[in-house]
Amino acid sequence: MLRLEVRDVEVMILTGIYSEETKLPQPLRISVVADMAAGDRFNPDTPLSRSKNYMDLKHAMTDALPKDRHFTLIEAVADHIADTIFLQDQRILRVAIEIVKLAISENGEQIGITMVRNKR
């Protein structure tokens, strides 16, 4: 198995349940860990097609998230990211998405969720 990671990507997303949260995008810090089936060893000349491009993971956290759609819960944001990653590559077996809501932090604490999804 190979574990790919993209951490601490900040995005602006329409999310939240309180009236002050529902009109403007909020900053979220998103990290993704994706486990994929890996074959034999990786040699110096192994092509990228044997692994996964990290930019695909970043795309799932940024451009693939609809900017004009309001997600009531950040859990729905995480599900959207997981679905996108599973659709990108059939070799992905498991994803873990961590989302921190930066706007509600008062003293530098990290408030958010971690969601783990396995391939169905």
Task: Kindly report, residue by residue over 6-62, the tens digit of the pLDDT.
Answer: 999 999 999 988 766 677 899 999 999 999 988 777 878 887 888 788 999 999 999
Instruction: Say what the alpha-carbon torsion angle 96, 97, 98, 101 is, to the nearest 10 degrees.
Output: -160
pTM for the full predicted model: 0.91
* Predicted confidence band of residue 108 (pLDDT cuts 50, 70, 90): confident
Q: How large is the average pLDDT for residues 83-109?
A: 92
φ and ψ at residue 3, rounded to 5 degrees: -110, 120
Classify residue 88 by its DSSP letter.
H
Task: Give the pLDDT of residue 66.
Answer: 94
Domain 2-118, what fold?
GTP Cyclohydrolase I, domain 2 (3.30.1130)
* Ramachandran bin of 16, using left for φ above 0, alpha for ψ from -120 to 50, beta for the remaining angles: left
- Residue 2 parent element (H or E): strand 2-13
- Token duo for residue 6: 């993209």
What residue ranges do the domains of the chain occupy? Answer: 2-118
* Predicted confidence band of residue 79 (pLDDT cuts 50, 70, 90): very high
